[in-house]
Each structure stands twice: as structure tokens, then as C-alpha cells.
Amino acid sequence: MNELGRVLDVVVIGGGQAGLAIAWHLQQHGLDYLILDEQTSPGGNWRNYYESLQLFSPAEYSALPGRAFPGNPKGYPLRDEVVQYLEKYAAEFQLPFQGGTGVVAVVQKDKTFEVRAANGSTFAARAVVAASGGFSRPYMPDVPGLKSFSGTCLHSSAYRTPEAFAGQRVVVVGAANSAVQIAYELANVAQVVLATREKIRLFPQRILGLDFHTWLKFTRLEHTRWLSDQSTPVLDTGKYRKALDTGRLQRKAMFQQVLPDGVVWPDGTIHQTDALIFATGFRPNLAFLPQLPVADRQGRVLQQDGVADQVPGLYFVGLPKQRNFASATLRGVGTDAGYLMPQLLRHLERVGSTETPVQRSRNPASGLQGKRASHRRQSS
């Protein structure tokens, strides 16, 4: 049974920054849409990241469309400030968010989609935007012997604070921002080695007094694909370089094997350790699209700039490197969402709602405002 008794223009799956950014654009165009999320409030997975997380981009480059990030524009907001910003963003723009609604399947039916939720409700829509996050499925490499390890073994997504590791020997795996941030703060209370496949690529956070992100803007490099083809640099104010140079933080080439109480480095030496923390990245979570041709055998999403290759009416926002290096960041996601709009509007006109979305937004008799109010009632 269709929960709303009507066909929506768009269902957005996921109410993190990506879902909110596309919702803002849908709202500007007066579309009839709904954000579904398994979590109870908007903001996505920011609230689940480690406590000390601080944005690598300054506030002035970390905003979604239509609302500046509050506070010092040159400052680097903390995790909880991001959560607050996103919650307020959804509330202020009255974006129709229905929490507690995990989507389990999206099925194409003629010109519409049927979106099925775990709680049994279904929704019909002419288009679907998957904004379910590129960083929600933790990835850990398959290292020989890992299962035999008797100490603490976790992915960085489960790491919260350093206190639990006080006085321990810890190996942190990974060469990107999370690995270095976590290893650095752990080094205050524990003996830490960073194990990386490649050298850590430290890049100055500020150059000639300006933030790295300002340079990306001035040079227009942020709009190129070239940048997204490079490995992610670790932005450094100088503290990581110093910690590595002084040995406060050690870096070693990735271990080859795990033993019950340690790891074996490439030269054969054994390093005893109490804990292994894998900051080895994530994969997109698109498990709710199994019946649609959206990924190849290697799991790569079949899309171009956010438009699904083989499923008309299906779009993505927030995939890593979807259009450029900033696609899965606060900074880039709003632009990517806006880029999709002309194509999404054309699709809606093609599949024929009785009025075009633009006509409907000009016609108060269509009752769109009333529909919005009814979404809000359901989500509260």
C-alpha cells in the first residue's frame, strides 16, 4: 500500500548533508518530495564519527546551499557543530524528513519507482535520489592471520576517544586524514605506529597565509577531475610533520601478517601490539538497489556525474569523486546536487506528471504546501 496515496515527484533516500542539499534544490523548484532516513533525525553519520573530529575545510567552505556555516568563517568546525548545523538547516528550510524509515528496496514499476521501507511502508515516486552516504560501509583489507588476533581490532568508524587505549601498544592502519588524526591523538596516551601501504602525503593546510581550500578556489582546480585522480592528501598545520619527524609518531610500511598478539613487518620483524585500528576507508551503501543495474562486478557505481547510467530517473548525490574530489564533502555536495536539477526536471516532464514541476510550483491550487505540511506531521 502506498503510504501517501499519491505519486511523489522524488523520494530522497538519506537525510545527511547529501540528502539535505538535494532537498534544498527540490524545494526551490517547488517539487513534491520526501526524505526517508533510517535514523530518527537529519544530519546523517556525522554524529557517529569520532568525538574529536574537526573539519579539514574552514567554515567558509563547509556550507550547504542557502545557509552559511555559523561562527568564524576561517575556523575549522568540530563534529558536533556540523551535526547542529545540519539539524538546523533541515528545520529552518522545513525540509520534509521522515525518520525511522530504512529503505530496503527500490523497484522500478513502469514509469515510477516503488520504494519499500523496513517498517512495511511503501512510497511511489517518479524519481529517486540515493543520498545514502559514501562512508557508511566500513572497509577492512583482508590481511593474513587477522582472524587470529586476540587483541582489540576495530575499524576507525567504531573509534570514539583515545582513553580506552591508554598505556597500550596500538597500530593504526591507513595513510589518509582519519588515520593520521586518530594516530596523532592516540600518541598522547599510547605507543602508536602508523602502518601504511604508501608514504603519507602531507600537504600544508595553509600556504602563504591562506587555507588550502582557498587556493583550490583561486586556481579553479576544485572543478577539475585531475584532483580527484590524486590520492587524498593529509592536510597538516605542521603538527603531523613534527610528530613524524621527532618519532612521537612512527610510520612503517604495512605489515604482511597478523599474529595472535602482534604483526609481522615486511622485513620479518615481529611487533607486539594490543590493538589494531583500521582507518582504511568505506564503500558506498546501496544495498537497497539490488534489483536495479547500478553497479558493475567490481562494485563500481554505474553513474555519470550523479546520473545513473542504466536506470532513468535514478540519481546519486554524495558518492566519493562523483564529479570531483569535493563531491562527498560539505563543500562540494551542494554544487553537485544543483548540477542534477535540470536533468531531474527533464525526467519528471518526460514521465509526465499532469503539470510540469515548474507549472505546479506556480499553481497554489495544486496543494503542494499542504502536502509538505502533511510530510512534516508524519516525521514529527
Ligand X SMILES: Cc1cc2nc3c(=O)[nH]c(=O)nc-3n(C[C@H](O)[C@H](O)[C@H](O)COP(=O)(O)OP(=O)(O)OC[C@H]3O[C@@H](n4cnc5c(N)ncnc54)[C@H](O)[C@@H]3O)c2cc1C
Q: Output the nine-digit C-alpha cell for 259.
A: 599474529
Is residue 263 close enough to count as binding ligand X by CB under 6 A? no
| By CB under 6 A, residue 196 contacts ligand X | no
Answer yes or no whether residue 138 interacts with ligand X by CB under 6 A: no
The yes or no reply on residue 102 touching ligand X (CB under 6 A) is yes
**Burial class, 342, CB count within 10 angstroms (exposed 0-12 / middle 13-18 / buried 19+):** exposed
Smallest distance, ligand X to C-beta of residue 259, A? 28
Q: Let me know how many helices (H) and strands (E) the chain has, helices first.
A: 9, 23
Q: Provide, rounded to whole angstroms, the least separation between the CB of residue 332 and ligand X.
A: 8
Return the C-alpha cell found at 150.
Answer: 586476540
- The single residue among 328, 337, 340, 348 that binds ligand X, judged by CB under 6 A, is 328
Residue 318 lies near ligand X (rule: CB under 6 A):
yes
Region from 53-61, 200-208, 260-268, 336-344 binding ligand X, contact rule CB under 6 A:
53-61
The reply to whether 23 sits near ligand X by the rule CB under 6 A is no
Strand partners, 64: 67
Instruction: Confirm if 49 and 79 have CB atoms less than 8 A apart.
Output: yes
Q: Examine residue 56 and tell whether it contacts ligand X (CB under 6 A).
A: yes
Residues 6 or more apart in contact with residue 118 via CB below 8 angstroms: 38, 101, 102, 103, 104
Told to check if 22 binds ligand X by CB under 6 A, we report no
Specify the residue, 136 or 205, whose C-beta has the smaller distance to ligand X. 136
Window 58-77: residues binding ligand X (CB under 6 A): 62
Nearer to ligand X, 143 or 328 (CB): 328
- As a whole number of angstroms, the distance between CA 380 and CA 372 comes to 13
210-211 and 206-207: which strand pairing?
Answer: antiparallel
Please, which residue, 18 or 26, has the CB nearer to ligand X?
Answer: 18
As measured in angstroms, the least distance from the Cβ of 318 to ligand X is 3
Q: Which is nearer to ligand X, 88 or 271 (CB)?
A: 88
Q: For ligand X, how many residues bind (rule: CB under 6 A)? A: 36
Q: Does 36 bind ligand X (CB under 6 A)?
A: yes
Return the C-alpha cell found at 181.
588524526
The span from the CA of 12 to the CA of 33, in Å, is 7
| Residues 273-312 contacting ligand X, CB under 6 A | 285, 288
Which residue in 3, 9, 17, 194 binds ligand X (CB under 6 A)?
17
* Residue in 4, 7, 27, 38 binding ligand X, rule: CB under 6 A: 38
Task: Kindly list the distances between the CA atom of residue 65 and the CA atoms of 16, 90, 97, 315, 339, in Å, as whole numbers in the listed order.
Answer: 14, 12, 17, 19, 12
- How many Cβ atoms are within 10 Å of 331's Cβ, its own excluded? 24
- Contacting range for ligand X; rule: CB under 6 A; set: 12-20, 168-176, 236-244, 345-353: 12-20
Residue 333 near residue 12 (C-beta atoms within 8 A): no
B/e letters for 156-176, b = 16+ CB within 10 Å, e = fewer, are bbebeebeebeebbbbbbbbb
Confirm or reject binding of residue 113 to ligand X (CB under 6 A).
no
Q: Which CB, 313 or 318, lies closer to ligand X?
A: 318
Contact criterion met (CB below 8 Å) for 280 and 289:
no
Residue 42 CB, nearest approach to ligand X (Å): 8
| Contacts with ligand X, residue ranges (CB under 6 A) | 13-19, 36-39, 44-46, 49, 53, 55-57, 62, 102-103, 131-136, 178, 285, 288, 318, 328-331
